[in-house]
């Protein structure tokens, strides 16, 4: 490195130097000529008390610093270290602001040199990293970092990261560095200086051609893998059970034969052969994924046609691709190709990105995201957005760069061979297995230009979510922020946004538009104002109806439109305005399309963007019409309430009340064979509820249920406290307080390792804060969904990292959670998982069933709760060696008439009614 870099890390008494927090440890590592040449660290007496929290975080106590120098005594040495150097830190603004405050306080000049933030560098050079905390990056780069939150250890790890980042920069092509350099002036630290140093080094030597990269139109890309050689030689599907076991044991000697898994393979292969549909329930531990992958590959090879495997969650997609597919490749005597295919918007549009790089845009998030993508292009083979770690601002930038249907194919023509979505389609056409998700599958199957086979073979894993996914695809949503975003992007003729550019293109080409004198600007201005007023009225009316206690969802019932008269009148005016806007904007675009050949590429991009916005206006018009003017009787309409004090705090939503045979036929009617599988599909040994949800109760579909191979009686005890109050006699807050005692006792008995499942976030929050405030679990680490922050996967990782951890979860943690071994030993279900009867979708479905003469509780509410209960139970035992305790804090499981149904829903296990002390004793002895 041509410059002297001083890498700094501080430990402090708090987060704000402006509020009087002080430095308690200073460390510096000096780098010259790519070598660490000096290290310095010292504790500093802060002249104030160090809190217990900071002591636990850093290991630095009041005792540690009692004989340490005060800052004034080391300030001169710190100033000399920094003289003529670049100040480097991980989150440089934090460390620099503290140091500047201390230097100024002591009468020294503040630091005026350049700065370099390794967080910024990490985001650019590691765009796919799981996170950008120092310990995460150190682990990724295999940097020894034994004492996080100790300044000397943190500074040394940061210095090694900086050296690693320079190596990464030097490995990039010169053209890539030039692109990064141009954008780097919009960053918050002087990353440009480091890139410039690297460019100078590259220019001083003959550039080495990187064999794994290919360059095109000023960008560098990772070379794609060559296609597989097809070595399949009519290998017949192993119908004999012993043949399968022999094959599996040859690849994995430790393989345990599971009769249900082998049966499942035969059922799926036979269903494909006979072109029949099937519903298969595969209990936990049966090896469901391998149970359908193996017959799917054999059948795909035999028919020379891909089998589509669809999941509901990204987590299962990743598991299939990263774990199960490689395992299957070791088992089979031939190779095969499995590809992941997602919706178009998940992929980067290279045509749009090339255009974006030419824009003069100095916005921080825009520059940083573009830099991330430039580096990512040298690493990715898929162009899939899910590989990137983008900030919320970065996601907004991505939304302008994602692939979509170009109105003018010529814009994409230069990139057609490189285009990621087109490559994904070409790869999928040659693949044996296409792995996708329910949302994309359902969207694709009902489009005219479908990518997936119209008459093919499909396996639907996580099939219990199928009805939910179908309803969402047929559903509608009107989001204030989304409408405002595209409205602002269009602008008016005066605002120099898209409409201004469109008007310039029309004028520059001397074109005339019919009804040009009609004021599109005026219509857009009126629409923007009245749309704002509509959502203000909706928010205000919602507050009146719920009297201050705002639910997450509020039904917008057809028979109660009297409450929404003002909103309806305004919606009718908005509908008329939208008809005019759609007509006027459409006419302008039609004139330009007629002169496409004479328009330049930039003009076509602007016209294309306006076509996309025209589509948004049409969709908004249709939703307003359906929601306020002519609602459908088979749909449910509701408001998602986020914050009713603001117009953007409410979202209008609608979806079909129940599945139907027409809905099923629209998606799957032409398919040759559809296999639906999950660990939880049956209720009371029947698949009728599942079939009714999909509208296929009259169809003749083969069903099979393969139970879990686990010995639950030897692995699980179920406890129900006899002395807990009846949940139906208490408010949410009262029951949360009552249940807190049992949760605390259970956690202490299990020494953490406990997951607590709730049916509502309100009750979770009430219980969490009751427990946290009482202090009885201060020795434990508590993680709460929606409170602790982070994604579901991050919460699970954190839960498994700490020895004495407790995880509080709601809806999404009832399923799709795999925590084998001792990390999870105690599962507590606070309330039987009935959907609230006043929840709009539940209420609408129950009303519709009642109209049909059915008992809504027994035909809908109870079966749904039983399935959810089984899903929650399934979190506890994940392997044949696991042991655990389930505690049900809702006594209705024993006292209500339907309680026996919940008991029967679980495998044969021992149920015990216990006091709180007995509960703790059983947990201690069992786990």
- 380: annotated binding-site residue? no
Separation of alpha carbons 105 and 80, rounded Å:
17
DSSP reduced 3-state for 381: coil
Contacts of residue 568, defined as CB under 8 A and 6 or more positions apart, other chains included, come to 561, 628, 629
Separation of alpha carbons 365 and 400, rounded Å:
13
Q: What are phi and psi of 887, to 5 degrees?
A: -115, 120
- 282: annotated binding-site residue? yes
Beta bridge partners of residue 248, listed in sequence order: none
DSSP H or E run through 246: helix 241-251
- 285: annotated binding-site residue? yes
Start-to-end CA distance of the chain, whole Å, equals: 56
Measured from the Cβ of residue 94, the count of other Cβ atoms closer than 10 Å reads 18
Which of 517, 516, 530 is CA-nearest to residue 575? 530
Separation of alpha carbons 823 and 525, rounded Å:
58
Separation of alpha carbons 391 and 369, rounded Å:
9
- Residue 136 burial by Cβ neighbours in a 10 Å radius (0-12, 13-18, 19+): middle
- Residue 442 burial by Cβ neighbours in a 10 Å radius (0-12, 13-18, 19+): buried
Tokens of 135: 């310990």
Residue-by-residue DSSP string for 99-163: HHHHHHHTTPPPP-S-EEEHHHHHHHH-TT-S--SHHHHHHHTT----STT-HHHHHHHHHHHHH
Tokens of 420: 């990621």
Separation of alpha carbons 535 and 129, rounded Å:
39
- 491: annotated binding-site residue? no
- 300: annotated binding-site residue? no
> What does the H/E/C string look like for 417-428?
CCCHHHHHHHHH
- Render the burial of 787-796: b for 16+ CB within 10 Å, e for the rest: ebeeeeeebb
Beta bridge partners of residue 636, listed in sequence order: 655
Q: How far is CA 65 from the centre of its chain?
A: 44
Separation of alpha carbons 561 and 761, rounded Å:
29
Contacts of residue 714, defined as CB under 8 A and 6 or more positions apart, other chains included, come to none
Separation of alpha carbons 677 and 645, rounded Å:
44
Measured from the Cβ of residue 724, the count of other Cβ atoms closer than 10 Å reads 20
DSSP H or E run through 36: strand 35-43
Separation of alpha carbons 871 and 808, rounded Å:
16
Separation of alpha carbons 131 and 127, rounded Å:
9
- 286: annotated binding-site residue? yes
Beta bridge partners of residue 502, listed in sequence order: none
Scanning 550-702, the segments in alpha helix (DSSP H) are 565-594, 601-624, 661-668, 688-694
DSSP 384: B
DSSP 885: E
Q: What are phi and psi of 348, to 5 degrees?
A: -75, 135
Tokens of 583: 């007509």
Binding residues for ATP, by number, are 282-289
Binding residues, by number, are 282-289
């Amino acid at each position: 490195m041509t410059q002297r870099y001083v890498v700094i890390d501080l430990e402090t008494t708090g987060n704000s130097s402006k509020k009087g927090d002080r430095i308690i440890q200073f460390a510096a590592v000096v780098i010259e000529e790519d070598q660490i040449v000096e290290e310095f660290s010292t504790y500093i007496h802060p002249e104030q008390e160090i809190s217990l929290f900071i002591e636990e975080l850093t290991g630095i106590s009041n005792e540690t610093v009692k004989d340490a120098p005060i800052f004034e005594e080391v300030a001169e040495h710190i100033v000399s270290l920094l003289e003529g150097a670049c100040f480097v830190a991980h989150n440089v603004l934090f460390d620099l602001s503290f140091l500047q405050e201390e230097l100024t306080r002591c009468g020294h000049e503040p630091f005026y040199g350049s700065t370099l933030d390794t967080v910024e560098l990490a985001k650019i050079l590691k765009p796919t990293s799981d996170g950008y905390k120092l310990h995460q990056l150190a682990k990724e780069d295999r940097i020894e970092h034994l004492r996080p939150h100790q300044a000397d250890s943190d500074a040394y790890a940061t210095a090694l990261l900086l050296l690693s980042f320079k190596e990464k920069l030097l490995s990039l092509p010169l053209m890539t560095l030039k692109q990064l350099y141009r954008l780097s002036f919009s960053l918050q630290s002087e990353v440009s200086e480091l890139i410039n140093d690297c460019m100078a080094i590259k220019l001083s030597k003959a550039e080495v051609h990187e064999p794994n990269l290919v360059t095109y139109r000023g960008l560098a890309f990772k070379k794609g893998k060559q296609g597989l050689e097809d070595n399949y030689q009519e290998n017949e599907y192993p119908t004999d059970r012993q043949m399968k076991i022999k094959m599996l044991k040859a690849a994995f000697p430790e393989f345990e034969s599971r009769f249900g898994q082998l049966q499942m393979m035969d059922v799926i292969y036979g269903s494909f052969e006979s072109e029949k549909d099937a519903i298969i329930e595969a209990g936990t531990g049966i090896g469901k994924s391998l149970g359908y992958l193996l017959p799917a590959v054999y059948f795909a090879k035999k028919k020379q046609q891909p089998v589509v495997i669809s999941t509901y969650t990204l987590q299962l997609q990743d598991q299939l691709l990263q774990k199960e597919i490689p395992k299957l490749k070791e088992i089979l005597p031939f190779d095969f190709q499995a590809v992941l295919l997602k919706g178009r918007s998940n992929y980067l549009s290279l045509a749009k990105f090339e255009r974006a790089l030419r824009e003069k845009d100095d916005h921080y998030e825009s520059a940083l995201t573009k830099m991330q993508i430039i580096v990512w292009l040298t690493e990715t083979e898929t162009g899939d957005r899910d590989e990137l770690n983008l900030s919320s601002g970065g996601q907004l930038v991505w939304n302008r760069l994602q692939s979509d249907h170009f109105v003018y194919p010529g814009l994409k023509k230069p990139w057609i061979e490189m285009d990621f979505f087109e490559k994904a389609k070409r790869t999928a056409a040659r693949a044996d297995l296409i792995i996708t998700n329910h949302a994309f599958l359902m969207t694709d199957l009902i489009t005219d230009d479908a990518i997936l086979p119209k008459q093919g073979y499909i396996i639907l894993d996580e099939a219990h979510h199928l009805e939910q996914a179908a309803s969402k695809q047929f559903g509608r949503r009107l989001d204030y922020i989304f409408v405002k975003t595209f409205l602002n992007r269009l602008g008016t003729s005066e605002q120099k946004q898209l409409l201004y550019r469109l008007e310039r293109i029309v004028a520059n080409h001397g074109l005339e538009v019919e009804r040009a004198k009609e004021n599109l600007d005026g219509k857009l201005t009126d629409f923007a104002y009245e749309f704002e007023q509509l959502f203000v009225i909706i928010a205000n009316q919602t507050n009146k109806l719920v009297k201050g206690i705002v639910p997450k969802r509020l039904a917008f019932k057809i028979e109660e439109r009297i409450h929404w008269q003002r909103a309806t009148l305004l919606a009718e005016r908005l509908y008329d305005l939208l008809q005019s806007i759609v007509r006027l904007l459409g006419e302008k675009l039609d004139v330009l399309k007629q002169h496409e050949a004479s328009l330049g590429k930039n003009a076509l991009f602007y016209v294309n963007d306006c076509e996309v916005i025209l589509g948004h206006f049409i969709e908004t018009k249709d939703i307003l019409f359906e929601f306020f003017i002519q609602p459908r009787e088979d749909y449910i309409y509701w408001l998602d309430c986020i914050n009713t004090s603001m117009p953007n705090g409410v979202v209008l939503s609608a979806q079909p009340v129940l599945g139907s045979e027409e809905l099923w036929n629209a998606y799957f009617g032409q398919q040759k064979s559809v296999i639906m599988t999950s660990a939880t599909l049956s209720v009371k040994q029947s698949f009728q509820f599942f079939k009714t949800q999909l509208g296929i109760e009259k169809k003749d579909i083969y069903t099979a249920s393969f139970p879990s191979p686990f010995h639950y009686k030897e692995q699980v005890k179920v406890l129900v406290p006899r002395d807990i109050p009846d949940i139906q006699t208490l408010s949410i807050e009262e029951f949360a307080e009552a249940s807190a005692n049992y949760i605390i006792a259970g956690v202490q008995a299990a020494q953490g390792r406990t997951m607590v499942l709730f049916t509502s976030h309100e009750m979770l929050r009430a219980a969490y804060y009751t427990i946290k405030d009482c202090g009885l679990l201060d020795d434990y680490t508590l993680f709460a969904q929606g409170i602790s922050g982070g994604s579901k996967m991050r919460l699970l990782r954190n839960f498994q990292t700490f020895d004495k951890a407790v995880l509080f979860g709601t809806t999404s943690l009832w399923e799709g959670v795999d925590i084998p071994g001792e990390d999870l030993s105690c599962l507590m279900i606070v309330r039987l998982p009935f959907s609230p009867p006043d929840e709009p979708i539940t209420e609408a479905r129950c009303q519709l069933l009642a109209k049909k003469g059915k008992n809504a509780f027994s035909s809908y509410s109870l079966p749904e709760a039983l399935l959810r209960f089984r899903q929650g139970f399934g979190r506890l035992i994940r392997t044949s060696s696991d042991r655990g305790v389930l505690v049900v804090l809702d006594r209705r499981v024993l006292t209500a008439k339907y309680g026996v149904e919940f008991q029967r829903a679980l495998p044969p296990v021992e149920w015990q009614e216990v006091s709180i002390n007995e509960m703790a004793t059983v947990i201690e002895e069992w786990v």
